[in-house]
A and B are shown apart, each in its own frame.
Chain A
């Protein structure tokens, strides 16, 4: 099938299958899946600028479906999502400016690659340690505590999270759905950092925002996944508009990819019901490692996937 906007020939079945895989990941983990979509489009000869912009447009559609499903399951904190969207947009703009500054020095590819490897590997290592420690503690606890309390979403990082929640910097925000009271600035900072990485490394940066919501803000994992998706709808819509104005979006490719993502997202959302928080976090570990692997491959071989 010929896509005149990006001037490429791609099989619609290939696009739908890529969308399906990303849809499952998005529904289950609350991530955009740009670390797969970008290289998958590039593999078919789509220019990088179109790959980045088109991926964002596709993320909007996929996240609407997954966020709607999560909302039906009670996994979306709208108030938290709206506040985070503000910080994300600000951070994304700063990240994009940082890229422009690095472009002027001529070291953009090297710096971004090393930062990406460091960040992706760091997240994976931390989540592996935390989720395994929590699962071990839960095993011991469930032997002594019976009932609903043994199934609560716990984290080995909880003491640090509670210390962050105790920081009384005005204004304090109460989030009844997430069950936390926290400073507005902490939420904005977490969202800003997520946005910064989104603007700096591309994609929706769910790989950093979802863990940050769990470990820094103390949001339960299922709610973090759903709220992250809702937040992605807003920030990716903004990204789609700005990229489309710059001529980086082939909406026809995004529409075809999205047909597969709809089914995938539904499967991913339903699957979250069968896993506890620490197990979802443990299953998340390979995702940033795949991203790191792709970056290392491009650094070593000099090929852009």
Chain B
């Protein structure tokens, strides 16, 4: 049981490390590129901005959830 817990913890730590790298890349690439466009949209087209904001956060939720689930499956399979 303890051995299994240790494996699970190790898989989680690796998942967290990979995820951190992915998120850092995401910060600097995607947000940097989107920043100016979103700022312009917020000041000029408020209704469009509201819709885009909702789609972005929902889209990110689905995408990141898929990434973490995939990482989880891959690592759990590898360490089993």
Residues of A within 8 A of B (CB): 1, 3-5, 12, 16, 57-58, 60-62, 64-65, 68, 237, 240-241, 244-245, 247, 249, 251-252, 254-256, 258-259, 262-263, 266
Contacts of B64 in A (CB 8 A): 65, 258-259, 262
The answer to whether B34 and A252 touch across the interface, beta carbons within 8 angstroms, is yes
The answer to whether A64 and B53 touch across the interface, beta carbons within 8 angstroms, is no
The answer to whether A62 and B61 touch across the interface, beta carbons within 8 angstroms, is yes
The answer to whether B46 and A258 touch across the interface, beta carbons within 8 angstroms, is no
Please give me the 8 A-B residue pairs with the lowest Cβ-Cβ distance, nearest first: A244-B50, A64-B61, A251-B53, A61-B61, A61-B57, A4-B39, A262-B64, A259-B23
B6 CB–A CB distance under 8 Å: no
Number of interface residues of B (CB under 8 A): 30
Nearest CB on A from B1, distance (A): 14
Binding site secondary structure of chain B? helix
Contacts of B35 in A (CB 8 A): 3-4, 252
The answer to whether A1 and B27 touch across the interface, beta carbons within 8 angstroms, is yes
Pick 9 A–B contacts, CB within 8 A, sort by A.
A5-B38, A57-B53, A61-B57, A65-B64, A240-B53, A247-B42, A249-B53, A256-B31, A263-B16
Beta-carbon nearest neighbor of B51 in chain A: A241
Nearest CB on B from A134, distance (A): 29
Supply 14 further A-B pairs (C-beta < 8 A) apart from A5-B42, A258-B61: A12-B27, A241-B51, A241-B54, A244-B53, A245-B50, A247-B42, A251-B38, A252-B31, A255-B31, A259-B64, A262-B64, A262-B65, A262-B68, A263-B16
Beta-carbon nearest neighbor of B23 in chain A: A259
Bitwise, B25-41 to A at CB < 8 A (1) or not (0) is 01100010011101100
Contacts of A256 in B (CB 8 A): 27, 31
Nearest CB on B from A95, distance (A): 20
The answer to whether B50 and A266 touch across the interface, beta carbons within 8 angstroms, is no
